[in-house]
């Protein structure tokens, strides 16, 4: 498992970005995460999911990046694909009930991705009665509403794990940034309270990201500030950098967050001896 985990980590961190000042940070970020974890990242996350998630347990997966605007009206493609792939693996391999949360403008493409992945989109009431399905809901962008929603989710669903796939998080000043250090606070769903409370209550948390501004990178925040070009000095008035302050139990660093989620999928498929938990090409 250690050997396969290392191979999976190498695959999902294969550098395939256009050459610019962000293309050089992947390997150093991965090395910092690996040093903090002490074992292959994909194996660590998959093993903890196996330990924490029992049949019929709910797992909450947060995704959605990019503001709803003219040239990107429904958000990025990085995030939804990985979230759905991982939801499918959790349902098949562990019998989990996945709940996906995202910004309102990202809901439609997430629903389409769920259906392309062979899953049904149903209400939570239906989800707990059936398999091969997920439940999707929008998550508010306002801070106070985000906190209330986090409390409602944790109290109603009692999740065994909470996972972020390409989900931007705040820096130590509470500002959400893009990878290039611009302020993205107004357009982001405020899922941070969900992870803060889950961490406090001992619920398993996993963050999957690729640039250091996503939820999970608080685990290696100092390294992000040293490695990411805007980690310690952003391009907005807060001047506190784009390094996310939200830590998770496990951090997956990948060339794209989708690939990181696929890595956990592959490891779950292997650990549970259920190859169908990994989607086909």
Average pLDDT over the chain, rounded to whole?
A: 95
Tokens of 72: 């990107």
Does the pLDDT of residue 82 top 80, yes or no? yes
Is 223 exposed, middle or buried, given 0-12, 13-18 or 19+ CB atoms closer than 10 A?
buried
Greater pLDDT, 38 or 72: 38
In contact, 36 and 251? CB cutoff 8 Å: yes
Residue from 264, 278, 275 nearest 50 by CA? 264
Tokens of 55: 């049949």
Three-state SS at 97: strand
pLDDT band at 163 (very low <50, low <70, confident <90, very high): very high
Query: For position 131, what pLDDT does the model report?
Result: 87
Q: Which residues are registered as beta bridge partners of 134? A: 121
Report DSSP state, residue 279. P
In contact, 39 and 47? CB cutoff 8 Å: no
- Under 8 Å CB-to-CB from 138, ≥6 apart: which residues? 101, 102, 103, 104, 107, 189
CA-to-CA distance for 100 and 116, rounded, in angstroms?
15
Does the pLDDT of residue 70 top 70, yes or no? no
Residue from 177, 166, 168, 164 nearest 231 by CA? 177
In contact, 163 and 100? CB cutoff 8 Å: no
Q: Report the pLDDT averaged over residues 202-213.
A: 98
In contact, 195 and 239? CB cutoff 8 Å: no
> Using one digit for the tens of pLDDT, what is the confidence trace for 121-160?
999 999 999 988 999 999 999 999 999 999 999 999 999 9
Nearest-5° Cα angle at 192, 191 to 195:
100
């Amino acid at each position: 498992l250690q050997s396969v985990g290392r191979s999976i980590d190498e695959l999902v961190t294969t550098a395939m970005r256009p050459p610019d000042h962000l293309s050089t940070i992947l390997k150093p970020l991965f090395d910092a995460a690996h040093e903090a974890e002490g074992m292959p990242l994909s194996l660590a996350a998959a093993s903890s999911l196996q330990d924490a998630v029992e049949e019929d347990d709910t797992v909450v997966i947060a995704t959605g990046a990019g503001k709803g605007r003219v040239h990107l009206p429904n958000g990025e493609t990085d995030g939804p694909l990985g979230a759905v792939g991982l939801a499918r693996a959790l349902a098949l391999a562990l019998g989990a009930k996945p709940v996906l949360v995202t910004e309102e403008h990202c809901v439609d493409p997430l629903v389409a991705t769920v259906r392309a992945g062979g899953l049904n989109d149903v209400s939570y009431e239906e989800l707990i009665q059936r398999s091969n399905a997920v439940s999707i809901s929008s998550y508010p962008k306002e801070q106070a509403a985000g906190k209330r929603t986090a409390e409602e989710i944790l109290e109603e669903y009692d999740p065994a794990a909470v996972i972020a796939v390409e989900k931007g998080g705040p820096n130590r000043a509470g500002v959400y940034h893009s990878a290039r250090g611009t302020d993205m606070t107004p357009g982001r769903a405020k899922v941070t309270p969900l992870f803060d409370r889950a961490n406090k209550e001992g619920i398993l948390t996993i963050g999957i990201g690729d640039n250091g501004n996503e939820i999970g990178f608080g685990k290696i925040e100092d390294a992000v500030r040293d490695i990411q070009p805007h980690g310690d000095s952003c391009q907005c008035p807060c001047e506190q950098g784009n390094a996310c302050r939200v830590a998770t139990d496990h951090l997956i660093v990948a060339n794209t967050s989708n690939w990181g989620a696929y890595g956990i999928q592959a490891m779950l498929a292997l650990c549970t001896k259920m190859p169908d938990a990994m989607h086909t090409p």
